[in-house]
Amino acid sequence: MSSLAVASGQIELDLAPLSKPATPPGSRTAPPPAPIRVAGRTLNPTPVFDTYWWFAAERQAVYEARVAGQPRPWTDDPVITRHRFTNCFRAADRVSQFLIREVSYRGSQQPDEVVFRTLLFKLFNRISTWHLLTDAMGEISWTHFDLDAYDQVLTAAFSRGVKLYSAAYVVPPPRLGAQRKHTNHLRLIEMMMTTGLAERVTTAGSLKSVFEALLAYPAMGDFLAYQFAIDLNYSTVLNCDEMEFVVPGPGARDGIRKCFGPAADGIEAEVISYMAASQHEHFARLGLRFDGLRGRPLQLIDCQNLFCEVDKYARVAHPDITGHSGRTRIKQRFTPIAEPVLAWFPPRWGINVDQPVRESGNV
């Protein structure tokens, strides 16, 4: 088994150089999966389909071991050991944990303030940028928001070569007249707040309605609007069902193509729904232990993310099976960060352990 550390919200391992592709244990012992019916189509799973379930079980076991403080190593899989993979559950990743603990639930719980903080954090999606702003501005508040003051802080950091954005996914710049991307994003946030987005979000009544409200703004494509809707749903301003609907991203589409071939093209959302609905069946079929996130099963957003991670994993474990992109390498490597793995989730989920919410509503 190998050693593990936390890096950029992801638990990863550090071993000697990878000598050969890994073969997931489940794929060596289980019979080939039978064809499945999704959206009126018959899909014939490839070997990557069973790898999806094996990877989920192995990755979750690594996470649970780290949270429990168990000594390393935590896995003997060389691909997970060397490369960066997100957690099975999106809310468990480091950046999501920071959002939930330090942004969503710390500070005023007035809806417009929660929406403002969430949007500001997620447009940059970088913890160091949040610290940069809080160090300079003190409390982050829509009531006292000064676009020029925030812009001066970010522009000064940018001129020093400080990275302001996460590389997790592309956040396209809105065309709102400024020269710099970060200035345009500050203008976008101000536009959102002054045109009543917070009220529309808090009265939406469904995750899809929140998604549609976000989608109306510049540079907010389907995938980004869906991700932001999920982030807002972690907070006190929403209580929507994560199983309501899903928007597959490019990485998930690649993973789905590797699991089912071109027959699944165009029905990716239905495939993700199938995975969430049948998860217990397939973990049992493969003899895999998967207890979820303190009993919470994989949600649609988690199954979507897992397809992204399995797409990467399969580049090494199943190099003969290709997706849409044709990528053959996993670019992101493990870089250790000596920080504890935090595990605190939206209180309404009922899965927090020994970490009660403060009376103020803050973490």
Q: State yes or no: pLDDT of 340 exceeds 80.
A: no
Q: Per-residue pLDDT tens for 52-72? A: 999 999 999 999 988 888 877
Q: Per-residue pLDDT tens for 290-306? A: 999 999 999 999 999 99
> 315 and 328 in contact (C-beta within 8 Å)?
yes
Q: Is residue 165 part of a domain?
A: yes
Give the domain range for residue 196. 110-233
Q: State yes or no: pLDDT of 171 exceeds 60.
A: yes
Asked if residue 51 and residue 12 are part of one domain, the reply reads: yes
Tell me which of 186, 208, 233 is where a domain ends. 233
Q: Please compute the mean of the pLDDT values over residues 76-99 and round it to a whole number.
A: 92
Phi-psi region of 40 (alpha: psi -120 to 50; beta: other; left: phi over 0): left
Q: Is residue 361 part of a domain?
A: no
Tell me which of 233, 265, 284 is where a domain ends. 233
pLDDT at position 4 is 31
Query: Which positions ≥6 away from 219 have C-beta within 8 Å?
Result: 171, 172, 173, 174, 175, 188
Q: State yes or no: pLDDT of 37 exceeds 60.
A: yes
pLDDT at position 10 is 37
Asked if residue 253 and residue 229 are part of one domain, the reply reads: no
Q: Is residue 100 part of a domain?
A: no
> 209 and 225 in contact (C-beta within 8 Å)?
no
Asked if residue 229 and residue 131 are part of one domain, the reply reads: yes
Q: Per-residue pLDDT tens for 220-234? A: 999 999 999 999 999
**Least reliable range by pLDDT among 23-27, 190-194, 237-241:** 23-27
How many independent structural domains does the chain possess? Answer: 2
Q: State yes or no: pLDDT of 332 exceeds 80.
A: no
pLDDT at position 327 is 75
Q: Is residue 275 part of a domain?
A: yes
Asked if residue 191 and residue 136 are part of one domain, the reply reads: yes
Asked if residue 325 and residue 288 are part of one domain, the reply reads: yes
- Could you give the maximum distance between any two Cα atoms of the chain, in Å? 62
Tell me which of 206, 233, 260 is where a domain ends. 233
Chain centroid to CA 227: 8
> Which residues are 12's β-sheet partners?
5
Q: State yes or no: pLDDT of 2 exceeds 70.
A: no
Q: Is residue 75 part of a domain?
A: yes
Instruction: Give the residue from 258, 263, 265 showing the smallest Cα distance to 323.
Output: 258
Q: Is residue 174 part of a domain?
A: yes
Rounded Cα distance, 235 and 237, in Å: 6
Query: What is the pTM for the complete model shown?
Result: 0.88
Q: Is residue 132 part of a domain?
A: yes
**Least reliable range by pLDDT among 86-100, 102-116, 120-134, 162-176:** 162-176
Asked if residue 124 and residue 82 are part of one domain, the reply reads: no
Asked if residue 217 and residue 143 are part of one domain, the reply reads: yes
pLDDT at position 354 is 63
Asked if residue 136 and residue 26 are part of one domain, the reply reads: no
C-alpha separations of 142 from 70, 122, 139, 282 in Å: 42, 15, 10, 46
Asked if residue 281 and residue 197 are part of one domain, the reply reads: no
pLDDT more than 70, % of the chain: 87
Asked if residue 297 and residue 322 are part of one domain, the reply reads: yes
Q: State yes or no: pLDDT of 48 exceeds 90.
A: yes
Asked if residue 326 and residue 282 are part of one domain, the reply reads: yes
Asked if residue 190 and residue 254 are part of one domain, the reply reads: no
Q: Is residue 102 part of a domain?
A: no
